[in-house]
Amino acid sequence: MAGSSGLGRRAAPSPHSARDNAPLYEHIELLFFAYRDFVGDADRLLEDYGFGRAHHRVLHFVNRHPGLTIAALLDILKITKQSLNRVLKELVAKNFVEARAGAVDRRHRQLFATEAGERLASELARVQTRRFAAAFESLGASAKEESARFLLAMIDAPERERVTRLIASGRGRSK
């Protein structure tokens, strides 16, 4: 039973061996299941609107960064403009997102969540927040900051700075 780390216990502080190559199956699988349930929350909501996960991501970041341009959004999502456009068109058609010509450079489109868009984005954030909040409540006060540090450390090192800035620059909270 080498390498067991135990799910619910306080492990003794093991002096971690210099070259421990044991696959962290536990963590790999926990992240898989956790993410699946995490996005599942939103999926159920989105169904009522005829939207998918791609719509969610676009709406989320537009709501968080009013005035975002297409190029900036593409850079966040790392998808092609064709993939983005497909879902963005639907969000605009259904009046959840509005695209205005850029104030300074009219070639740009600046994206904004409409009132309906804000409402849906908030609702989506709310169900996902609930999952985090429930976890933190069961884990203790430090879990909130610890988990943020953990998740950041799981992001590609060269991206961390960018992500940190992106998150910090987002619009604070809904209502």
Partner DNA sequence: CGTAATATGTCAACAATGCTGACCTAAATG
Partner DNA sequence: CATTTAGGTCAGCATTGTTGACATATTACG
Closest CA to 113 of 71, 175, 65: 65
What is the distance in angstroms between the CA of the first residue and the CA of the last residue of the chain? 51
Structure tokens at 137: 């409540």
Q: Any contact of residue 47 with its own copies (CB under 8 A)?
A: no
Closest approach, Cβ 60 to DNA, in A, equals 12
- Residue 113 DSSP code: E
82 binds, among its own copies, DNA, none (CB under 5 to 8 A by kind): DNA
Burial class from Cβ neighbours inside 10 Å (0-12, 13-18, 19+) for residue 29 reads: exposed
Stretch that binds its own copies, among 29-37, 84-92, 96-104, 107-115 (CB under 8 A): 29-37
Say if CB 88 and CB 97 are below 8 A apart: yes
Show the binding pattern over residues 106-145: x = contacts DNA (CB under 7 A), - = does not. Answer: xxxx------------------------------------
Applying the rule CB under 7 A, the residues between 54 and 83 that interact with DNA are: 54-55, 57, 69-71, 78-83
Stretch that binds DNA, among 97-105, 114-122, 126-134, 151-159 (CB under 7 A): 97-105
Show the binding pattern over residues 13-52: x = contacts DNA (CB under 7 A), - = does not. Answer: -------------------------------------xxx
Say if CB 124 and CB 91 are below 8 A apart: no
